[in-house]
Amino acid sequence: MSDASLIWSILTGFLAVNLMVAVHGIIYGRSLTKKLISLSIFSDTVYMFFIMIGYRFIYPSVPPVYVNLTTREMEYLTRHGVDPVPQALVLTGIVIGMAVNALIGFGIIQAYRLKKSVNARELVGYEEGE
């Protein structure tokens, strides 16, 4: 196994663990604030995974800039160029995620203002033992 392959495997493993921790926080976290933080971690992990998909596993990689290329340079660019589509999707996702997090954060602030609690179980009226 080459060094690059080992590094990619370790990075993928860390992303999988990060994803599991975020999902656990979203599902089992009682505080809405912790759920929002877990949701942000989840989305950032997915964005990193998309960047990994777009990144070519060939070293060296080059940005996808097309300027009067010869046939030889174009061939090199197709073998070593980074795919720009996942980068565009991640950029769009970051902007949308920021807006969604701001909306959820506003809802959490309003829940605290009205109910004096951010505990999800208290807000829905769930009581232990039912």
- Give the pLDDT confidence score for residue 56 in this predicted structure: 64
- Give the pLDDT confidence score for residue 57 in this predicted structure: 67
Selection from 2, 4, 12, 7 nearest residue 59 by Cα: 4
- Give the pLDDT confidence score for residue 103 in this predicted structure: 96
The residue ranges of the chain whose pLDDT is under 50 are none
- Give the pLDDT confidence score for residue 54 in this predicted structure: 78
Q: Is 129 among the domain residues?
A: no
Q: Is 130 among the domain residues?
A: no
Condensed to tens digits (0 to 9), the pLDDT of residues 54-71 reads 776 666 777 777 777 888
**Half-sphere exposure of residue 16: CA atoms within 13 angstroms, side-chain side:** 6
Can you give the residue range of the structural domain that contains 108? 3-124
- Give the pLDDT confidence score for residue 38 in this predicted structure: 95
For the chain, what is the mean pLDDT?
A: 87
Backbone angles phi, psi at 57, to 5 degrees: -85, 20
| Alpha-carbon span 28 to 95, nearest angstrom | 27
Number of folded domains in the chain? Answer: 1
Q: The CATH number of the domain where 53 resides is what?
A: 1.10.287.3510
